[in-house]
A and B are shown apart, each in its own frame.
Chain A
Amino acid sequence: MRCMSGKTLYDKIWDAHVVSQQDGEAILYIDLHLIHEVTTPQAFAGLRANGRKVRRPDRTLAVADHNVPTEGQELGVRAVADEEARLQLETLERNVADNGIQFFGMGDVRNGIVHVVGPEQGRTQPGMTIVCGDSHTSTHGAFGALAQGIGTSEVEHVLATQTLRQKKSKNMRVLIEGQPAPGVGAKDFALAVIGAIGTAGGTGYVIEYAGDAIRALSMEGRMTLCNLTIEAGARAGLVAPDQTTFDYIRGRPAAPKGGAWDMAVEYWKSFYTDEDAVFDREVRIDASKIAPLVTWGTSPEDVIAITDVVPDPASFSTPDKRAAAERALEYMGLQAGQPITEAKVDVVFIGSCTNSRIEDLRAAAQVVQTAFVNGKLVAPHVRAMVVPGSGLVSAQAEEEGLDAIFKAAGFEWREPGCSMCLGMNPDRLKPFERCASTSNRNFEGRQGRNGRTHLMSPAMAAAAAIAGHIADVRDFV
């Protein structure tokens, strides 16, 4: 007989959404389906070809984010110069209109990156199941929602049935405890986790983040951490909801109102891990030992402290890893043993669903302002850009005067979207340009063919813009 141990947060969300189950494969009900232009056209085409309808348009929300240019958005889709991108955006507009799905299009202040918009609208709530045809859907796990990226066939399945067929993953807990040093935050936590367990370390797991350092994080910080969980290979990341979560949701457009609010909070509070629950794997990280981190290679696990030197491929344990490290160094144009702070940058990108929320922009602006007061601007050879995650983030930042700080120092202040995170729109690295980026992927060619990406936090990216090379933010605050 199975001994009755407690349940994890993941177990509880899972159990609450099983419609039916057979041989371990569940039909899981989906509470919220987020969609965007790139991974949905074939799904809607599939529905049409089979005469099927969208089951719950009211539980579906659409945005235009991956392809949109980051200027001139008020002109709308018709003004998008790239023909293929325009066709994809127009196809989305038609599909959402035909099916009665709420849609924030280009130029709508509520539009932005899908993983910024969902939480901002109050659509993302604790205890939910959330899917989107995008791997960084893991972001929404910050609210204690089971949020997963899916493929286009599954998008079609969810549109038609509001369910997903799935087997349950294993449980992993990452405990992060202790007081982080000044200048160290959620992005560094995330890179530390990926560095510790590797990009495949989370494969087959859902990771719950716990510990006092997590409890102390804002919602923005928790979103950054859960966003990067996919880079550790896990299916989803989770943080149990608490007062920080409820305070963030309250008053947002789709948040429960009136008497329903108390009822909802009561329900949300039931989503936590029981004390006697057992995890399949547990990892502990001491927050006080984490330095500001940057990546040196072409995988998010290629992480070093800002004070370190570029590693020697010979120091890796297996022939595969040595070969990968050699290839990465060549691609990145770096030498083993060189201090990473010597790497000169050409471009600085502050944006993406990882780090484009108001708190991220505040952290970067603070570094920029301090430098400005000391008479320093963006280094002359650097193109620096800030791309807010949504129109509302942009408006908030403008209200706080952050845009003025960035612009005065020499940053471009652009309109919202995915932008140079993946370079599907015109914002791209030129070959061999080096970029200090707050995004999530440093893969070969991710930000533009032969572009060289170093992942880091918004404060670190701001420091790099001023210094003109990768720099330690602690020298700037």
Chain B
Amino acid sequence: MEAFTRLDAKAAPLPLANIDTDQIIPKQFLKTVEREGLGRGLFFEYRFDEAGNERADFVLNRPEYKGAGVLITGDNFGCGSSREHAPWALMDFGIRCVISTSFADIFYNNCFQNGLLPVVLKADEVQALMEEAKGGNHMVTVDLAEQTVVSPSGQTFRFEIDAQRKEKMLKGLDAIGETLQQGQAIDVYEMKRALAQPWLEDA
């Protein structure tokens, strides 16, 4: 997993609530067997019209937001399907951090597996950032170690994050490698289970 420490980047405002993972990456892009290259499908139906032309008014198509690394968005971002293609597509497109008031559980979890930082701020703070990002300057700084987002005008917002998740994200740790170190505990658990629920062993 890619580590996340500090990010200085343009922030794009996308003030819609309940953006589901079908919107983030539509199903026609799920037929891949790769993780890479999904950026081309990100927000496909927002970015392109029926004829396949870019919609000039969509935020990520506007020249001033080209290369944005942060997305500021409405409540309950990432609801719906569990597809990890959603964080993969965001990352592939260059987004490393999404700021919202709330995220759907599975999406939130998937972000941490990939070094995409989901930041939860209060509604008025998200609103303030959103307004600033709509203006002429949209550079923000996200600092994971400090747990802060600094707005274009220099306002600092602090966010909460689970300590273990923060640690893993800062270091870019591999969860599977870590769990495998507990192989013995898993062996013991399995032996006990085989005795208590033998019917699960001959399936």
Contacts and interface: CB of A to CB of B under 8 A. Distances in A.
Interface of A: 19-20, 22-23, 25, 27, 29, 31, 38-39, 41-42, 45, 50, 52, 55, 58-59, 66-67, 82, 84-85, 87-88, 91, 123, 133-135, 149-154, 156-157, 160-163, 165, 167, 199-200, 203-204, 233-235, 254, 256-257, 260-261, 263-264, 267, 299, 320-321, 324, 422-424, 431, 441, 443-446, 449
Contacts of A235: 105
A67 B179 CA distance: 33
Contact of B110 (A58, A153, A299, A445): A153
B105 A154 contact: no
Contact of B22 (A19, A29, A446): A446
A85 B50 CA distance: 23
A160 B180 contact: yes
B53 interface: no
Contact of A267 (B17, B109, B196): B196
Contacts of A441: 20, 22, 80-81
A320 B75 contact: yes
Contact of B82 (A31, A150, A161, A449): A150
Contacts of A163: 179, 186
B176 A424 contact: no
Interface string B29-41: 0111111000000
A449 B87 CA distance: 22
Given A149-B106, A199-B18, A203-B76, 6 more contacts: A29-B193, A41-B34, A133-B82, A153-B84, A154-B113, A267-B196
Interface string B174-203: 011001101101100110010011111101
Nearest to B106: A149
Given A45-B33, A256-B199, A320-B75, A165 B82 contact: no
B106 A27 contact: no
Q: How large is the interface on B (under 10, 10 to 19, 20 to 34, 35 or more residues)?
A: 35 or more
B17 A320 contact: yes
Contact of A42 (B34, B82, B105): B34
Given A85-B31, A160-B180, A267-B197, A29 B189 contact: yes
A234 B79 CA distance: 11
Given A264-B197, A445-B45, A157 B176 contact: yes
A443 B163 contact: no
B84 to A, nearest CB: 4
Interchain residue pairs A-B with the least CB separation, the first 10 = A153-B113, A256-B199, A41-B33, A84-B31, A151-B84, A151-B110, A149-B82, A260-B199, A135-B82, A152-B84
B23 A444 contact: yes
B176 A443 contact: no
B22 A445 contact: yes
A58 B203 contact: yes
B75 A151 contact: no
Interface string B1-34: 0000000000000001110101100111011111
Contacts of A234: 105
Contacts of B190: 29, 162
Contact of B182 (A20, A66, A443): A20
A156 B176 contact: yes
Contacts of A149: 82, 106
B46 to A, nearest CB: 10
Nearest to B108: A203
Contacts of A42: 33-35, 84
A70 to B, nearest CB: 16
A165 B22 CA distance: 26
A199 B76 contact: yes
Nearest to A50: B176
Most buried by B among A149, A152, A204: A152
Contacts of B179: 27, 157, 160-161, 163, 165
A91 B198 CA distance: 33
A443 B104 contact: no
Contacts of A52: 176, 180
Contacts of A449: 45, 50
A323 to B, nearest CB: 8
B54 to A, nearest CB: 17
A254 B203 contact: yes
B102 interface: yes
